[in-house]
Structure 1
Amino acid sequence: MKFLYYLNVFAITLFVGCDRNKKPQETVTEQTRPNIIWLVAEDQSPQFFPMYGNQTIALPNLERLAADGVVFDNAVAPVPVCAPARSSLITGMYPTTLGTHNMRTYAPWRGDGESPYPSLGIPSYSPIVPKGVKMFPEYLRKIGYYTANGPKEDYNFEKTDAAWNESSAERHWRKRHNDQPFFTVFNFAVCHESQIWKRSKDSLYVAPDAVPVPPYFPDTPVVRHDLAVNYSNLKRLDDQIGEVIADLKEDGLYENSIIFFYGDHGGPFPRHKRALYDTGVKVPLIIKFPNNKNSGSRDDRLISFIDYAPTVLSMAGIEPPKVMQGVAQFGKFEGRNKPEYTFHTSDRFDAIYDRLRAVRNKRFKYIKSYNTDLSHALPVAYREQMPMMQELRSLYKEGKLNDEQASWLSPTKPEEELYDLEKDPFELDNLAQREEFQDTLKHFRTVLNDWIKETNDLGRIDESDLIARWVPNGEPPQLASIEMEETDGKILLSAPKPDATIVWKSPKDSIWSIYSEPLPNDRPFEAKAERIGYADSETLIFSVE
């Protein structure tokens, strides 16, 4: 049974909510290429936001953005933790296909040659991704976009120099040339998991006794305080986003820009981050289209991070590469076949391997565990710093949690879980053993198994074997030197590896440009080839006497 069989084939128009009688989107030209901005909130679930029905705290800037845009009710991350999820965003690929499915594969900040996890002997490494996979901003730069990102990268592989004009905390579209179109990513860490304990003594913008406590958490002062800290951090997030939107409006760019606001995976709490429940994989998503097209509407389509890269390229008038596993949801190259399912994975966190896989549609979620002797509540040292996590451990040990609150902390977990997301949005009632749901269970089991085979899920392979394949002798393979030919006053460059990218710059420049046409032979330059998973080729230095 082929994976494509499970795609829901239907024709739709180019913008959300448009019907067949409305005019399609105009052809994208160099003069009409849209400016695209990503506003990325770390570690947040939809359930905390006013646009998803939670009025605990006002977020005026995001609420206005939602009023000007489209709110998506079924936006998801393929992995409930940052680095693997971001590898998907930047490539349009599943982390399990890329080899970025384990948390923290590329971690050079831990020290040159030092193993991030000494007990496992795992070095910092970049997987050798499938043929043709690139960081998608490279395609934008090739047609003239100014691309800027910051301050976070964290792709689970070493970035390529072709992707960004700038990647730093100081990134801004205002650094581009004249009216150059731009793609700019603003990442906001103020609502990250770590801020629950780091800001625990900061001012609160909502009283702990005023916050709603979801049924999977006990109603205690510690839990309420941590929830209040998160709502307060969302107020800080909203203020920071307001500054970016104010800059857009000051520059006269807001109306005609495309703005994405989304979370990089689910919320910061236990049973959120690192969990395949919707609290871990479902994300808030708002897209404001040019001229506020379809403002104030909602869209319940399934949209995953693998769709973001092809969608942005399509919006810019670029046909997405065939290697991308996502679907362009909007734009010139909008796909006619929209996904009927989304797929989610969980593998190694720190030094603990716990492989889980999940498939979801609008109604049901199926979760498969390959390590039933491990608790869902893995002892991740980073998370154990959170007061709420410590509270949950203590109450579980004392037997003071009810069944719904205790199930996530149980020392074992079921091999299969099935949830009705409409009737049980918090996924507390496992239907896998119910006789009346056996056909549904078998169907989702088949869909997931077919996806695992069709996408070459590398989680089936021991990480040590993957490292031996990608980093032989402890070093990544190096690309062969680029070749140079001089003819008719021009310098022609080529890379022996066909899918490598050649970048070049003048000796005094700091930013690498993408080589796309012959260079003049009357000025010096440096050039090299690069590809994800490989060490760059030796730098070619061309001098002029």
Structure 2
Amino acid sequence: MAPRNILLMIADDLGRQLGCYGNKVIRTPHLDGLAAEGVRFTNAFASTASCSCSRSTIYTGMHVHQNGQYGLCNGRHHFSTFEHIETAPALLNKEGYLTAIVGKVHVGPEHVYPWEVREEDWSRDVAYISDKVVNVFERSKAESRPFFVTVGFIDPHRDITRAGFGNDGDFDERVETHKYDPSEVEVPEFLSDLPGTRQEFANYYESISRMDQGVGMILEGLKKLGLGDETLVIFLSDNGPPFINSKTTLYDAGVRLPLIVRSPGSASSVVNPNLISYVDILPTILDFAGAKEKNNNLERLGRSFLPILASADDLSDWDKVYGSHTFHEITNYWPTRFVRTRRYKYHRNIAWRLDFPFAADIYGSLTWEDIRNAETSPKMIGNRPLKNYFFRPAEELYDLKEDPYEVRNLAKDPAHARVLEELRADLEGWQRKSRDAWLYRDGVSVLLVKHHLDAGMVMPDSWDIDVEKPGTKGPDVKLYNNVPFGEVAVQPPGLGW
């Protein structure tokens, strides 16, 4: 039996700015070629829109409120995955795989992510990185062991300058430079078309084209070693572009991302429209590897998409995804949850009384400077009023067919009351099933006071405490129904979306 090799490539802060996803300006021939040889998913979703958090969902098959990687791993932020969780490298080590990561790691602690080869490197020289990756391929072949290799590209993340994307570095002569004219870039509709935005996107495109070359070099190395036909190749990004209204938000601009998969023996040039979550990545990898995991009471809510990989049709049981976000930087606390169907998107904003926080790199951007100084009234981010970006209600509901950029909130529209009721119940059922500590009633976590509820305590059935009427007694007080966690709550009949 041929080895079941696995190559996972993760771009950093890449949206759908690729030729194979419809961008007519950018040059990404290697990723476009990979898509032509495999499957391009058009509805793949990160569970969250922050680097460390998203990577943790990929490696654990669990949402961040389950695995504990609530925010960024590095520096002052110092969030870490729970000690008891078995991650992708730990599970595949048990299967005899040569596990390796090259490039960006950005999750912790190290012993919870025990890659056998750990080549952490912040270089954007994709030729240098590809050489390190090919060395692992060669070792795998020499030792007759299957490999699970993760490549963490640094591109196209911002650098520490206000508008840069690492394009001024020293690179191997094999790396070509692709410059872009700011007047020719495609400014996405979630952003305002301003000079600073165009300049930053020209730099962003250059970084993406460099990353694409790294993909090509790695795939060529795989081919030369004769390993291409026995390797599952997965390419994705951790979260959306590092711009306001995208990264750190759970709007589609931040979480609807590229996912390209090439599997041995599978069909090519498939465009798969089914809704895939990043918590499905690990189950898919384990399925391909033939690994039989013992659950150990861990709730991995994802499932393998290998059985539907070649499907070009909308499948009824792949029509919904969920997500959770709690932190980005340590100072960026803004917990929110979402459920998305093909037609609708519902957001529950737990800390809605707080203004939405800025990530440091986005705050320093030229795009934000131009938006805040634009001679318009009211100030806008794309089609969204600036005020609505910073101050959001407890609930947001969007009809994505009519409003794909999630601008017109229908949560208080009587015509959508039934949809709101169903998605609200659906999301809370998922929160209970995933034991989400951010399922709130009366301003506190239901999970953390569950032992009091089980002992007979009652609490109002409202999300936030009513300081004018805080009582729990009287005929007008609706009390919370103490539904068990770990189970799906009773939901109203479906609408057949």
Q: TM-score range by the shorter chain?
A: 0.7 to 0.9
Corresponding residue of 1:178: 143
Structure 1 residue 357 corresponds to structure 2 residue 331: no
Does 2:158 match 1:189?
Answer: no
Deviations 1:454-506 (A, max 9, x none): 21113359999x9xxxxxxxxxxxxxxxxxxxxxxxxxxxxxxxxxxxxxxxx
1:305 to 247, 253, 278: 278
Residues 1:427 and 1:173: Cα distance change in structure 2 (over 3 Å): same
Superposition pairs of residues 211-226 of structure 1, within 5 angstroms: 211-226=185-200
* Residue pair 1:208, 1:224 contacting (<8 A) in 2 also: yes
Q: Distance in 2 between matches of 1:194 and 1:211?
A: 20
Instruction: Tell which structure's C-alpha radius of gyration is larger.
Output: 1
Aligned to 1:143: 95
Q: Distance in 2 between matches of 1:309 and 1:134?
A: 11
Give 1:430's match in structure 2, choosing from 397, 400, 409. 409
Matched to 1:450, the amino acid is G
Residue identity in the other structure for 2:41: F
TM-score after normalising by structure 2: 0.76
* Structure 2 unaligned residues grouped into runs of 5+: 122-131, 169-176, 309-314, 448-497
1:152 aligns with 2:112: no
Structure 1 residues 382-391 or 453-462, which shifts more?
A: 453-462
Corresponding residue number in structure 2 for 1:38: 8
Q: Does 1:345 align with 2:309?
A: no
Match of 2:152, SS state, is strand
**Residue 260 in 1 paired to residue 214 in 2?**
no
In the TM superposition, 1:195-214 aligns within 5 A as 197-199=163-165, 205-214=179-188
* Aligned residue in 2 for 1:77: 46
What secondary structure is seen at the aligned counterpart in 2 of 1:148?
A: strand
Write the letter of the residue equivalent to 1:225. Q
Query: 3-state DSSP class of the match of 2:397?
Result: strand
User: What is the CA-CA distance between 1:294 and the residue it aligns to?
Assistant: 1.1
**Percent of aligned pairs sharing the same letter:** 28
Which consecutive aligned stretches of 4+ in structure 1 deviate over 6 angstroms post-superposition?
461-464
Separation in 1, partners of 2:90, 2:156 = 29
RMSD value over aligned CA atoms? 3.0
CA distance in structure 2 between the aligned counterparts of 1:296 and 1:387, rounded to whole angstroms: 38
Contact 1:359 1:367 in 2 (8 A): yes
CA distance 1:396–1:415, shift in 2 (3 Å):
farther
What TM-score do you get using the length of structure 1 for normalisation? 0.70
Note the C-alpha offset of 1:79: 0.8
Which structure 2 residues correspond to residues 501-520 of structure 1 after superposition, within 5 A? none
Residues 269, 304 of structure 1: alpha-carbon distance in 2 compared, 3 angstrom cutoff: same
Tell me the equivalent position of 1:316.
Answer: 289
Q: Is the 8 A contact 1:45 1:284 kept in 2?
A: yes
* Structure 1 alignment gaps of length 5 or more: 1-30, 111-115, 118-123, 467-545
Query: In the alignment, what sits opposite 1:490?
Result: none
**After superposition, where does 1:325-404 map in structure 2 within 5 Å?**
325-330=301-306, 338-350=317-329, 351-376=331-356, 378-395=357-374, 399-401=378-380, 404=383
* 1:273 paired to 2:247: yes
SS in 2 for 1:354: coil
> In 1, distance between residues paired with 2:40 and 2:189?
25
| Aligned AA (2:269) | G
Amino acid at match of 1:319: K
Structure 1's 439 and 407: CA in aligned 2 closer, same or farther, altered over 3 A? Answer: farther
